[in-house]
Amino acid sequence: MQRILIANRGEIAVRIARACRERGLTPLAIYSEADATAPHVRAADAAACVGPPPSRESYLNIAAVLDAARALGADAVHPGYGFLAENAEFAEAVGKAGLIFIGPPVEAIRVMGDKTRARQTVAAAGVPVVPAVEDLPVDAAAAERAADALGYPVLIKAAAGGGGKGMRVVRNAAEFRAAREAATREALAAFNDERVFLERYFERARHIEVQVLADAHGAIVHLGERECSIQRRHQKIVEETPSPGVSPALRDALTTAAVAAARSVAYVSAGTVEFLVTDADEPYFLEMNTRLQVEHPITEWVTGVDLVHAQLRIAAGEPLWLTPASLTPRGHAIECRVYAEDPAQQFLPSPGRVVLLREPQGPGIRVDSGIAAGGDVTVYYDPMLSKLSVWAADRDAARRRLIAALRSYAVVGVTTNIAFLIDVLEHPAFVSGATHTHFIGEHLASWCAADGNVELAAIAAALHTALAPAATAARGGQHPPATPWQTLGAWRLGGAG
């Protein structure tokens, strides 16, 4: 295993390329026509185009990805997360092409990718699952009776789903039929599978997940839990470890259940078992993500284990070198996802060109970035710009460090959620650790940005200061005019440029 095709884009592709180099492996990239000059392409030794900008015609095109692997001489494929990462058909095709799939066995992906089958499998292993109606009747009236029997509120979920797609919260019988129809349509569009099922919905629950690592020789360890309750539209935006709401007893229950769930499908590689924890500290299995998680950096911060290196070593056949006794978490880590989106407009994406980018730096600060100044945020892909994570000795120190890092993060050209993230981290409920999956709806539903004139003025001043020496040098040592308006020459509004 020497030449690794990274079947992804953005920050995770850059991250994997870096890990490959650190292990003496050759990173290879794929790109769509919209990503020809993207950072992940420059991070690789060689790259191949896999199609037009739409992901279905490029990053999701299995034949095109495998053609690229052959053309670039790859002997292994790392799927990252998203796109084809949890696609059993892709993993199977990679194996049939004679390549190593850096991830779990095909059957583990297949079982955990079917939410109802996953529930049944882990329940047989003694893992608690949310009360549900798995075989939802096709007949509308019968389905409504099933929802009544389960008890409102209920959550309609896509059986083949993930990422918040095909999900609807229904709080009473009057809303059920329309919500089910909408969830079914969305599931069909997103996963080509219209099956949905029902789960009991808990209003003030925490979303807790456990990172596991398993080798091909039967060894499995957990690397602790992550708190992922701060979400918008069922998508996480702030994660931390350890969770401020998990007691030692609950932690033992969660990690024991996570290892049992992984063992139930003979899991191999890095994976994450997700749980819903009620306000009565009752843990219930939600799903298993059979891939690297977006939020893996915070686990790396507190454990010192590089999860991408671990995936590469396990895929090469190494036995697991970690034991529960060797894993001693240290300190606290928090991550937030920086998006090109407008939180004041229902988190609508904000495509455009990133004119200026200044990422935070300093001790205990990490930026996993997939964008560069001059790059475009397109309408074709998820608008996440980067993941900003920090580590400190305790939770409050980490929280303050993250706020300071966000305040030094400058992005010009697209609207971002940076100001919103700061308000989340400064909210008294977050400070106290009182987080749950309805945190944003309860505390920040009517959020709007503060006046940005001061911030814009600060950015302009910083640009002026940063560019002044270069401008002076370009003029042979002569200082530039005091303002840019003095350099524009004659012009008039509406005149020829």
Could you tell me the CATH number of the domain that includes residue 224?
Answer: 3.30.470.20
Is position 32 within any domain? yes
The predicted structure's pLDDT at residue 249: 97
- Percentage of the chain with pLDDT > 90? 85
Q: Say how many domains are in the chain.
A: 3
Report residue 379 as tokens.
């309408």
Is position 478 within any domain? no
Nearest to 366 by CA among 419, 422, 412, 298: 298
CA distances from 407 to 339, 359, 361, 419 (A): 15, 10, 12, 8
Give the Cβ contact number of residue 156 at 10 Å.
27
Is position 486 within any domain? no
| Domain's final residue, options 102, 118, 142 | 102
d(CA 402, CA 360) in angstroms, rounded, equals: 10
Residue 482 has pLDDT above 80, yes or no: no
Report residue 341 as tokens.
């989106």
**Cβ distance 236 to 166 under 8 Å?**
no
Considering the domain architecture, whether residues 372 and 297 belong to the same structural domain is answered as yes
Is position 362 within any domain? yes
Considering the domain architecture, whether residues 157 and 216 belong to the same structural domain is answered as no
Is position 388 within any domain? yes
| Domain's final residue, options 153, 172, 200 | 200
> 495 pLDDT band (50/70/90 cuts)?
very low
More confidently predicted of 310 and 460: 310
Considering the domain architecture, whether residues 276 and 406 belong to the same structural domain is answered as yes
The predicted structure's pLDDT at residue 142: 94
Residue 486 has pLDDT above 90, yes or no: no
Q: Give the mean pLDDT of 123-131.
A: 96
CA distances from 21 to 7, 45, 136, 428 (A): 16, 10, 49, 43
Q: Give the mean pLDDT of 248-268.
A: 98
The predicted structure's pLDDT at residue 164: 75
Q: What is the domain-level CATH number for residue 173?
A: 3.30.1490.20
* Contacts within 8 Å (CB) and 24+ apart, 93-100: 93/62, 93/66, 94/66, 94/69, 97/66, 97/69, 97/70, 99/5, 99/69, 99/74, 99/75, 100/1, 100/75, 100/76, 100/315
List, in sequence order, every residue forming a beta bridge with 207; answer none if it has no partner. 276
User: Is the peptide bond preceding residue 52 cis, with omega within 30 degrees of 0?
Assistant: no
The predicted structure's pLDDT at residue 476: 59
Backbone angles phi, psi at 450, to 5 degrees: -70, 165
The predicted structure's pLDDT at residue 449: 82
Q: Which of 229-233, 407-411, 472-476 has the highest mean pLDDT?
A: 407-411
User: Is the peptide bond preceding residue 343 cis, with omega within 30 degrees of 0?
Assistant: no
Considering the domain architecture, whether residues 38 and 181 belong to the same structural domain is answered as no
Among the listed ranges 42-56, 110-124, 324-338, 480-494, which one has the minimum average pLDDT value? 480-494
The predicted structure's pLDDT at residue 491: 45
Q: Give the mean pLDDT of 481-489.
A: 47
Nearest to 354 by CA among 335, 336, 378: 378
**Helical residues (DSSP H) of 304-394, grouped into ranges:** 307-315
Catalytic residue among 15, 291, 399, 401: 291
Q: Give the mean pLDDT of 352-369.
A: 97
Is position 471 within any domain? no
Residue 207 has pLDDT above 60, yes or no: yes
List, in sequence order, every residue forming a beta bridge with 357; answer none if it has no partner. 411
Considering the domain architecture, whether residues 305 and 428 belong to the same structural domain is answered as yes
List, in sequence order, every residue forming a beta bridge with 240; answer none if it has no partner. 227, 334
Q: Give the mean pLDDT of 340-369.
A: 96
Report residue 39 as tokens.
């950072």
> 203 pLDDT band (50/70/90 cuts)?
confident
pLDDT in tens, 71-87: 999 999 999 999 999 99
The predicted structure's pLDDT at residue 191: 86
Sheet of strand 332-339, all strands in order from the earlier edge strand to the far edge: 283-289, 269-277, 206-214, 220-232, 235-241, 332-339, 384-392, 365-369
CA distances from 142 to 49, 132, 136, 457, 478 (A): 49, 15, 8, 61, 82
Residue 179 has pLDDT above 80, yes or no: yes
Residue 70 has pLDDT above 60, yes or no: yes
Q: Write the DSSP symbol of residue 318.
A: P
Residue 8 has pLDDT above 70, yes or no: yes
pLDDT in tens, 380-408: 999 999 999 999 999 999 999 999 999 99
Among the listed ranges 156-160, 223-227, 252-256, which one has the minimum average pLDDT value? 156-160
Q: Write the DSSP symbol of residue 131.
A: -
Residue indicated by tokens 């349509």: 185
More confidently predicted of 476 and 78: 78
Contacts (Cβ under 8 Å, ≥6 apart) of 474: none
Is position 109 within any domain? no
Is position 483 within any domain? no
SS3 label, residue 357:
strand
More confidently predicted of 4 and 472: 4
Q: Give the mean pLDDT of 28-38.
A: 97
Burial of 417 per CB tally in 10 Å (0-12, 13-18, 19+)? buried
| Domain's final residue, options 161, 179, 200 | 200
Structural domain including 139 reads 131-200
Considering the domain architecture, whether residues 287 and 317 belong to the same structural domain is answered as yes
Task: Tell me, yes or no, if 291 is annotated catalytic.
Answer: yes
The pTM of the full predicted model, rounded to 2 decimals, is 0.87
